[in-house]
Structure 1
Amino acid sequence: MPQNKTEPLSALDKYRAAFMRLKMNTPQRLPKGTIVSQNNVAKEAGTDPSALKKSRFPLFIDEIQRYVSVQSDKKPVSARQKTLSTRKKNRSLQERLSEVAKQRDNLASLLTEADMAILELRSQLVEFQRTASNVVELSVKPQGVRR
């Protein structure tokens, strides 16, 4: 049903017009270059962002979300997003480095314990060999000695 000039636009019509203005980069209420998002469409239409709900306008919200997802694939990443991505990558590298350092320290501790155990066992082996040779000598001497 066509609307004449005196009849006010419906909410959906306002949102559609705002969506088109944002897509064409000719917003009236927001600065030029504003990205298209559900909240920005509502702001451009002059309403509160919470008024543009999926429960009220499901097909229109789907259309906005499809457009945003297609544009996000085409759009170059901003300097801020690059910085945030680099920080996230560096943070994960720092976490990995910290984890590797903990593993290294744990392995060094285990190696030190193993070295101590080897030294202790060696000293026990030397003591055992000395005691065993004394036992063998004692057991051989009495047999070889005649009284």
Structure 2
Amino acid sequence: MTEIIVAATVAERAAGFAVREQVFIGEQGVPADMEYDALDDADSTDHFLARVGGEAVGAARLTAEGGTAALGRLAVLPRARGAGLGAELVRAVEQRARERGFTAVELHAQVPVLEFYRALGYTAHGEEFEEAGIPHVEMRKEL
């Protein structure tokens, strides 16, 4: 059974961080000092955890910096990919953004997964840029 929750406890947040570490630091080579930032501890940040059969396999976060809702740190472990879990996490973040009164969500998409976000209704804008050594494009979706 798939379960997506807003991580409310220290243990739930730690499980989400462990997923992010495996995907971003271990798999993609993002430096650890770039993976975590002050937004991880901000009161306005919601952390999401996806579990399958009780095992943490996905994570994401919703930040609200300067009045803008931003989806970030979306990560799904390799063994859980291809089953729609990433899309479920995105929808959970969007729902939470609506609940918090936001009318749009922005994100920085890694170029190799642009089509994933386009299929979920996000539109790319601006020039390609590099973040943590990975090409990205800004995207936005009106809610």
Scaled by the length of structure 1, the TM-score of the pair is 0.24
If you compute each CA radius of gyration, which structure gives the higher value, 1 or 2? 1
Q: Which has the higher contact order (CA 8 A, sep 6+)?
A: 2
TM-score by length of 2: 0.24
Which structure has the highest strand share of the two?
A: 2
Structure with greater helix share of residues: 1
